[in-house]
Structure 1
Amino acid sequence: MWLISQPNSVILQVKAEPNAIGQECLEKVCEKLEIGAEADYFGLRVCQGSGPGRWLNLRNPLDPHRTPGGRLDLRVKFWVPPHLLINEPTRHQFYLHAKLDLTEGRLVVADLEVARRIIAYIAQAETGDCDPDVPPIHIYQECEKIGPQGEKPEDHINKIIEYHCEIAGMRASQAEYRLLKEISNLESFGEELFFCKPVTQTNNAHNLYSHLLYHTQKVEETRARDEQEIDGGATVGCLATGQNGGGCGCRLSTCVGVGPHGIVVYRPACNGEQDIGVEKQSIKYTVINRAQPLRRIFQLSYVTAEGHEATLNVKMATSGQAAALYRAVTEKHAFYCCETVRSDVTEQFIRDLKGTIASIFNDATTLGRRYVFDIRSTCRELHDRARREHHARHAHEPRAARRDHAGNVRKESRSRSRSGGDTLACRVCMDSAMDTLFLPCRHVVCCQECAPRCERCPLCRCEIEKLMHIYLPVEYQKSPGVIVK
C-alpha cells in the first residue's frame, strides 16, 4: 500500500503489485483525480524529511526500501501556462501546487501589486465574494510570504480587499485560472533549483529569489567562462544578522536552475558590504552541445555568444545530485523544446551489480536494468493527445445532457435547433451558446467554458480584464429563416 499526498494535505491510498512500476501508481492516482488524460504533467516525489526530495523514476519498479514509510508526494513536474491545460480538474491541481509553492516561498513574486492580485484570487477561489465588513483575514495572513518580504505598507490589507471586491462574482475555477496566468509570467515559473550544498533554512529557493530581489545590482556574463569549474562546497552570503548594515540575511551556495527555456547558474557574490553584485549566468537549450554527470561533477558543453565552445563544471555535494541535475536538464529540454522524445533518451539505462555481471554473459538481459529517464511525451504531444481525448469523450455524449466542469447539466441552446442556430454558437468550440461578455471591449464570441482560456479578445485583440455572464434574447427568433444579429 502506497500513500500519495496531495498539496492540499489529502492523502490517497494506492494498492500496487510488488513488481509494479511507478507509472502504474501514478496512473491510479490520476484516475481517482480525473486527470488521467494529462497525467504526464505530474510526477511522484520522494521526500527525505529535511531538504528537497527526488523525483521517482516511473519506469522503474517501486522500491519500498528507498521510500520511507511508502509515502510519496504528487507534484507538478512540468509547468505550462493555463491555456494549454484542457481539463478543469488538471487546472485545479495546478492551482493547488501553485498555491503551495507561493505560500511556502518556493515561488517568489517581485511586484507587490501582482502579489496583491494573486492573494485576492486565492481568497476568491477559497471563500468566494468578499464581504468588506468581514473580509477573510485568515486567507490574507496565510499568504503573507507572497510578494516582497519586509515591512508592508499600511494600506496593504486594504489594497487586497479592494482587489477582492473588484472580482466579485468570479467563479472559483476562473479565479484559479487567473492565478495560474499571473504566475506563468514570473521569471522563475517552472524552474527547478539544484543547490550545490544541502538545503537548509538559509540555503533555499525563497532566500535565493529574495536575495536577487534585494540587490539591485545584477551582473550577468561578467567574465570569460571557458573551462571553468564551480565548486559548490563553499557558501557565500550577506550579513547573517539580517538586513541591518547592508546585508539581506541570506547565506547561499551556488545553485543551478533548470527551467523551460534553459538553465541558469546563480552565484551570489555577497560580502556583507553595501555595494553587492549577483552573478547570474543563463544558458539556453539551443546552445548546449552535451551534458553528462561525472561522479559529483555535472559537466555541460555549450556555445558562447561569440561562437566559442565552453565547458561548465558544477561540483555538487553528492553524485546523486549531479545525476538528478543531468536528468532534469535532459527531460525538461525534451519536454519543452522537442517535437518528440528521441529513442536515445527513452532507451538509456544503467545496471546494478547483478545486472552488470549477467550482461557479461548475455548483453541483452534485462536483469538489474534501471532506466535513467521516465519522460514519455513532449509538451506538444501531450497537449494534442489530451485535446483529442477531450473531444472524443464529449462527442459521444448526448447534446441535451452534456455536463460542464462543475458537473451541472448544460441544456442545449434553443438557437441551435433552428436553421440559423450556429449563428449564436461559441466561436471557439462551435458547440455551446455564446453567453460571456468580454470587458472592456464588450464583444460576445465565447461560451463560459472557453472564455477563461482567452487572454485577448478573438475579434479586436484587446486585453481581457473581466468576464461577465449574459443572457441573449433568442426567444424572439420566430421563423427559421430569420437570423438574429
Structure 2
Amino acid sequence: MWWCIVNLPNGTQQAVKWDPKANGQECLEKVCLALNIICEMEYFGLEHWTPNQKETQTRQWINLRNRLSCDSGSSGSGIQLMLALRVKFWVPVHFILQESVRNLFYMQARRDLLEGRLSASDWSNAAKLAALLCQADGLRFNEAALRADCPMRMRRELAQQQLQQQQAQQQRHEQQRKEKEHVLSFKKRRLSKQKSMEHIENCALPLAATSCSLQPSPSTSTSANTSHTCSSHTHSNSSSSSPSNSSSQTGLDERLASNPLRMYEEYVFLPSHETSGDAASVPEPPADYLRQIATEHGKLAKLQMSPKSAKYWLLQSIQDLPGYGEELFSGVTTNESATRCDIAVGAHGITVCRGGEKQSIPFGAIAAAKSLRRTFKLEYVDDHNDRKELEIKLPKQPIAAGLYRSITERHAFYVCDKVRGVVTNQFTRDLKGTIASMFKEDTELGKRYVFDIQHTCREVHDQARRILHERGGDAAVRAEAADGAVAAAAAAATAVGAGAGSSCGAGGGSMAGKIDLAIREKEAREAAIERCVDTRISEAMQCKICMDRAINTVFNPCCHVIACAQCAARCSNCPNCRVKITSVVKIYLPPELRTSQSECVSGGSNTTNSHSQSQSEVSQEAELQLEEISVATATATATAGGSAAPVAGVAEPGGGQAKVTTAA
C-alpha cells in the first residue's frame, strides 16, 4: 500500500492509501468516503497534480477505469502519487442532494472565480458575486465600511500625487540643467577669450606666461565650484523627495490598516473582456469597487442569509456566466492559413472560436469526431443543413485525445438517457496486449479503456435519491434544502412576478433581481407590521365612549382607563365594570403614544377640516373644564378642613359626587 496525496479545491490535501494494482475509481471512492460523500461521486474527476503549478481550463482527466500510474508523483518520502480532485461535470445546484458535494462545488467555483478561469459579465455582477463569496465565507458585515474611504481610490490618489511630484521634480531638474548649460557656455566663452588674451601675452612675455600658468585660473575654479554646487543641490533635492514619498506611503499604510474595506480586497476579480489577451488592455476596477461589494454585502446581511444559502445563491448565479462548466482546448487549423482555433466543450454542445468569430455547435449537430495523434477532426451539420468539417492540430497527442474524450463523455452525460455500450466498451491495447490478443482475444492484458463514464446525469440523480432514501437521508436532504429558504422563497417570488419585469442585466441578473425582490418583500413586511402595530395602538388609545378623542383619564377606585376627559365628566359609573366613580384623575401618556395618537388624530382631521376644528375646540373646552373642576375640588377640600390632607384621586368617606383632580 502506498500513500496518495489528493489536493482538494480549497487548497488543502487529503492523504489516502492506495494499492498499485487498483484502478482510479477505488482511489476516488476512498477520497469521497473521507469527505463524507456517500453518492454523487460521478460529478468529480481526478487529474495529476504538481504543487505551485497554475491550473488551466484544459483538463487532463485520469481514466478511472484504468490502473493508476505514477507519472506525476513525487519521488521519495513514500509518496508515489499526487492527484487533484476537481469538479468534472457541473450540474444545476438543485440537483445536488448532499451538503458535502455542494461544498466541493462551491470551493471549485470560488477558486475558478478568484483565479480568473470563470469571469463575471461586468463590474456590477462581479461585486454581487464577491458579496456572495464574503457571505458564504462567514465575513461579518461592518456598517462603517459604507462610510470608509475606498483603498483603491486612496492608492490611486497617492500614485497620482507621486507622479505629479516626479514630473515637477523632472521639470525642475530640466530647468536647472538648462541654467547650468547656459552658465557653462558663458564661462566657456569667457574662458576662451581669456585664453586668447593669455596666448597673446605668452607670445610677448614667455616668463610671465610661465608664472601665470603655475597659478590656477579663477574662472576654472569658479566653474568647478558651480558644477559641484549644482550637483550637490540636485542630490539634496532627490534625497529630500524620497523621504517625503516614504512618509506619505507610511501614512497611507497606517490609514489602510484600520480601513474596514480592506477585507474585501481578496475578493476582487476581473470581469470578462473582449480583448486580445494583452495584460495591458485589462481594465482597472472602478475606484469605489470595494464600496460596491460592501453595499451588496450589506443587502445580504440585511436578509440574514446563512453561509449555506449564500453558497446555494452563488452556485445558482454562476450558471449564467460565460464559460461555466466548459473545458477549453486551443490549437491551430490544418489549412494554409493556420489560424488559431479554440474549442470550448460545455453541457449543451461545443463553441468554436476562429479568427474572432464564434460558432455554437450543439451535440445533436455533430456527425462524427475522431482524433489521430495530434490532429482532431470534427464533422457537423451547420444551420443551413450543410455538412462541414473542422480539422485542427493540438500541441500534444494527449490533448487531442482529451478533446475527443470530453465531447463524447459530455454528450453521454448531459444528453443521453443511458450510456451506450459502444462508449463503455471502447478500449486500446499496448504492444504486449496486442500480441497477447492474437492468441486470446478477450485477454485483459494491456487493455486501457478510452472512456470512464458509466452513468448519465439523470441516472446519478435518481441513484443518489434511492441511496439517501435507503439510508434515511431524505430528512437530512429536506433540512439542508430548508436552510436555503430565503433563496427558494425569493426564486418562487421571482417566478410568480416575472411578468412585472426587472431591470437586471444579463449574466447573473436573475440572481440580483431575486435578492432585490427579497429585500423589498422584507421591507414591505416590516412596514406592514409597523403600520399594524401603530393602528392597534391608536385604536387602543381611543376613547371607548366617543371613539374619537384620546384617552387621558383614569377612574377610581376601579382604575379603568377607557375615556377622555369630556366623556369622563359625564360618567357617574364606570362603563366597564359599573362601579360608582369616586374620582377621575387626569393621566399623561408616554411621548411615543401621544405622538402616535396625535398623528392618528391629525390624519383623520385632514379628511374633514370643519370636524377637526370642532374636535379641537371641544378638547380645549374639556381641558379647561377639567382644570376648573380640579381647582374647585381642591378649594372645597381646603376649606372643609380635616385632620389629614386629602390625596388626589382618593374618594372621601361618605360617598358623594365624583371629584376630578389632576395627577402628573
Deviates more, 1:369-378 or 1:146-155: 146-155
1:448 maps onto 2:526 in alignment: no
Q: Summarize the Cα distance change of 1:459–1:141 in structure 2 as closer, same or farther, 3 Å threshold.
A: closer
> In structure 2, how many angstroms separate the alpha carbons of the residues matched to 1:90 and 1:454?
23
Instruction: Decide which of 319, 325, 333 is 1:184's aligned counterpart.
Output: 319
Instruction: Decide which of 408, 419, 432 is 1:330's aligned counterpart.
Output: 408
1:167 maps onto 2:300 in alignment: yes
1:25-104 equivalence runs, <5 A: 25-47=27-49, 49=53, 52=56, 54-68=60-74, 70-104=81-115
2:329 corresponding residue in structure 1: 194
SS of equivalent residue, structure 1 residue 181: helix
The total of aligned residue pairs comes to 369
Residues 408-429 of structure 1, C-alpha deviations (whole Å, 9 max, x = no match): xxxxxxxxxxxxxxxxxxxxx6
SS of equivalent residue, structure 2 residue 483: coil
> In structure 2, how many angstroms separate the alpha carbons of the residues matched to 1:298 and 1:190?
22
Q: TM-score, normalised by structure 1?
A: 0.70
> In structure 2, how many angstroms separate the alpha carbons of the residues matched to 1:70 and 1:395?
34
1:246-325 equivalence runs, <5 A: 253-267=340-354, 269=355, 278-325=356-403
1:142 maps onto 2:142 in alignment: no
Amino acid at match of 1:256: I
Gaps in structure 1 of 5+ consecutive residues: 198-227, 235-252, 270-277, 397-401, 406-428, 437-445, 471-485
**Maintained 8 Å contact 2:127/2:292:** yes
Percent identical pairs in the alignment equals 40
Amino acid at match of 2:41: A
Amino acid at match of 1:151: E
**Maintained 8 Å contact 1:83/1:454:** no
1:461 maps onto 2:461 in alignment: no
* Cα distance, 1:342 vs structure 2: 0.7
Instruction: Decide which of 110, 114, 117 is 1:106's aligned counterpart.
Output: 117
> In structure 2, how many angstroms separate the alpha carbons of the residues matched to 1:183 and 1:165?
20
Q: Summarize the Cα distance change of 1:367–1:137 in structure 2 as closer, same or farther, 3 Å threshold.
A: farther
> In structure 2, how many angstroms separate the alpha carbons of the residues matched to 1:381 and 1:452?
27
Amino acid at match of 1:117: K
> In structure 1, how many angstroms separate the alpha carbons of the residues matched to 2:268 and 2:492?
34
Residues 327-386 of structure 1, C-alpha deviations (whole Å, 9 max, x = no match): 000011111111011111111100011101111111111100000001121111111111
* Cα distance, 1:9 vs structure 2: 1.4
Higher relative contact order by CA 8 Å / sep ≥ 6: 1 or 2?
2
Amino acid at match of 1:294: L
Q: Summarize the Cα distance change of 1:73–1:257 in structure 2 as closer, same or farther, 3 Å threshold.
A: same
* Cα distance, 1:263 vs structure 2: 0.9
1:344 corresponding residue in structure 2: 422
> In structure 2, how many angstroms separate the alpha carbons of the residues matched to 1:138 and 1:55?
38
1:393 maps onto 2:471 in alignment: yes
**Maintained 8 Å contact 2:4/2:83:** yes
1:152 corresponding residue in structure 2: 285
Q: Summarize the Cα distance change of 1:33–1:364 in structure 2 as closer, same or farther, 3 Å threshold.
A: same
Structure label with greater radius of gyration:
2
Q: TM-score, normalised by structure 2?
A: 0.52
* Cα distance, 1:188 vs structure 2: 1.3
* Cα distance, 1:258 vs structure 2: 0.5
> In structure 2, how many angstroms separate the alpha carbons of the residues matched to 1:153 and 1:90?
35
> In structure 2, how many angstroms separate the alpha carbons of the residues matched to 1:157 and 1:457?
31
**Maintained 8 Å contact 1:119/1:160:** yes
> In structure 1, how many angstroms separate the alpha carbons of the residues matched to 2:39 and 2:336?
42
> In structure 1, how many angstroms separate the alpha carbons of the residues matched to 2:473 and 2:492?
27
* Cα distance, 1:195 vs structure 2: 1.7
Residues 279-332 of structure 1, C-alpha deviations (whole Å, 9 max, x = no match): 112211010111110221111111121212111111111222111100000011
Q: CA RMSD in A?
A: 2.7
Q: Summarize the Cα distance change of 1:343–1:175 in structure 2 as closer, same or farther, 3 Å threshold.
A: same
SS of equivalent residue, structure 1 residue 457: helix
Q: Relative to total residues, which structure has the larger helix share, 1 or 2?
A: 2
**Maintained 8 Å contact 2:72/2:82:** no
Deviates more, 1:301-310 or 1:10-19: 301-310
1:358 corresponding residue in structure 2: 436
Q: Relative to total residues, which structure has the larger strand share, 1 or 2?
A: 1
* Cα distance, 1:387 vs structure 2: 2.0
2:173 corresponding residue in structure 1: none
> In structure 1, how many angstroms separate the alpha carbons of the residues matched to 2:337 and 2:140?
48
> In structure 1, how many angstroms separate the alpha carbons of the residues matched to 2:26 and 2:337?
37
Deviates more, 1:386-395 or 1:163-172: 386-395
Gaps in structure 2 of 5+ consecutive residues: 75-79, 146-258, 273-281, 499-513, 526-664
Amino acid at match of 1:60: N
